[in-house]
Amino acid sequence: MKTSNLVSTMVLSAIILGVSSTTIAVDLDSEDPLPSWNEGSTKAAILNFVSNTTNQSHPDYVEPEERIATFDNDGTLWCEYPDYVQSLFMFDRVRDMAPEHPEWNSTEPFRSIISGERRASANFSINESLQIYTATSTNLTSDEYMELARDWLNTTRHPRFGLPYTRCVYKPMLELLSYLQTEGVKVYIVTGGDEDFVRTFSDEVYGIPPEQVIGSAFRLQFVENNSSVSIVKLPQILVVDDGQEKAKEIVQNIGQRPIFAYGNSDGDIPMLQFATSDGRHGLGLLNHHDDSVREYAYDEGSAIGRLDSGLEMAGEWGWHVVSMKNDWKEIF
């Protein structure tokens, strides 16, 4: 719909409904934007932060074009336990691709994926994980890769919750994404996962368009073939978007320092440091996975989503540790 038509439709609706402009504004304002969050210091900090940064007469006011928020994905927006979703996708890809790669039956790390000896990413070294990532995600275009990812996401389910992974997303986080966007904040996902993998579902699930997803990526090749041009993912890793790379990729891709950063593991610390260290009262938050009943309690000393340093540093840096057990009314 064109803007002119949209405006006229809104005007017309208001006239037909016979409501005054004041009524509309008050109705929208009085809703709790974070109904799945329990009252407490964390929720209050978020509401205050948004209220102050959007209030022109407040000293912490931030111009709309500078309202940038960055969110990690795994363990922050969706469930990453008992294993990273993308790892499970890659393991299935290895099994699917195995017939074309007879050499994998005698080559690690592929052999033990095919045989079923090693089933979790925690069983592989970082180098092995990158080898698996590269073998399963390259020599195809982004579109081809995303189609594979989409098909896989449509046909697999979380082993405990029985839901598609794209529904194992945290309801309080969806409310927060929506709230920030309503208040003029531009929200980015900054993920250690492959950026095309997350782009597959970011718009549909989170309301975040693919161009606002920053993640791990491969070098690309420009391929011209009979007036058809495509860009192919090469088997050379360009960036593993974790730790300090997250802050660097934010500068490279966004060119602005975020005012809000939200993660859940030690790999998100540099991103939070960057967002909260320039005296602009940026807000930093970390999900603490401490709810063994409704989800999992796993992030201390864990191979997945370890938050040991984050819990230690949060006090000094003024970050909010969000207890998923106590701060959230619902998880999914």
Give yes or no for residue 251 binding a second copy (CB under 8 A).
yes
Residue 231 corresponds to which tokens in the numbers above? 């860009």
Give yes or no for residue 8 binding a second copy (CB under 8 A).
yes
Residues 188-217 that bind a second copy (CB under 8 A): 195-196, 199, 203, 209-211, 213, 217
Name which of 114 and 254 has its Cβ closer to a second copy: 254
Give yes or no for residue 248 binding a second copy (CB under 8 A).
yes
The least CB distance from residue 249 to a second copy, in Å, is 9
Please choose, out of 36-44, 109-117, 164-172, 274-282, the segment that lies near a second copy by the rule CB under 8 A.
Answer: 274-282
How many residues at the interface with a second copy, by CB under 8 A? 60
Please choose, out of 99-107, 120-128, 171-179, 271-279, the segment that lies near a second copy by the rule CB under 8 A.
Answer: 271-279
For the four alpha carbons of 97, 99, 103 and 106, in that order, the dihedral sign comes to positive
Name which of 237 and 297 has its Cβ closer to a second copy: 237
Give yes or no for residue 14 binding a second copy (CB under 8 A).
yes
Sheet architecture: strand order including 186-194: 140-141, 228-239, 213-225, 186-194, 68-71, 260-263, 283-288, 320-323
Name which of 28 and 303 has its Cβ closer to a second copy: 28
Q: How far apart are the C-alpha atoms of 71 and 80, rounded to whole Å?
A: 14
Give yes or no for residue 174 binding a second copy (CB under 8 A).
no
Element (H, E) at 239: strand 228-239
Name which of 87 and 276 has its Cβ closer to a second copy: 276
Helical segments of the chain, H only: 3-17, 21-30, 41-53, 85-97, 110-114, 126-137, 142-155, 171-182, 195-199, 244-253, 269-276, 308-317
Q: Out of 154, 277, 309, 326, which residue is the one contacting a second copy (CB under 8 A)?
A: 277
Name which of 9 and 105 has its Cβ closer to a second copy: 9
Give yes or no for residue 29 binding a second copy (CB under 8 A).
yes
Q: How far apart are the C-alpha atoms of 296 and 325, rounded to whole Å?
A: 10
Name which of 253 and 302 has its Cβ closer to a second copy: 253
Residues 91-150 that bind a second copy (CB under 8 A): 142
Give yes or no for residue 270 binding a second copy (CB under 8 A).
yes
Q: Residue 71 — φ and ψ, nearest 5°?
A: -125, 135
Contact 249, 225 (CB under 8 A): no
The widest CA-to-CA distance across the chain, in whole angstroms, is 74
CA atoms within 13 A on the CB side of 302: 24
For residue 319, how many other CB atoms are within 10 A of its CB?
25
Residue 204 corresponds to which tokens in the numbers above? 């549909």
Cβ-count burial of 253 within 10 angstroms (0-12 exposed, 13-18 middle, 19+ buried)?
Answer: middle
Give yes or no for residue 224 binding a second copy (CB under 8 A).
yes
The least CB distance from residue 295 to a second copy, in Å, is 30
The least CB distance from residue 175 to a second copy, in Å, is 16
Name which of 208 and 304 has its Cβ closer to a second copy: 208
Residue 292 corresponds to which tokens in the numbers above? 């063994």
Binding site for a second copy (CB under 8 A): 2-5, 7-12, 14-15, 21-22, 24-25, 28-29, 54, 65, 68, 142, 182-184, 186, 195-196, 199, 203, 209-211, 213, 217, 220-222, 224, 227-229, 231, 238, 244, 247-248, 251-256, 270, 273-274, 277-278, 316-317
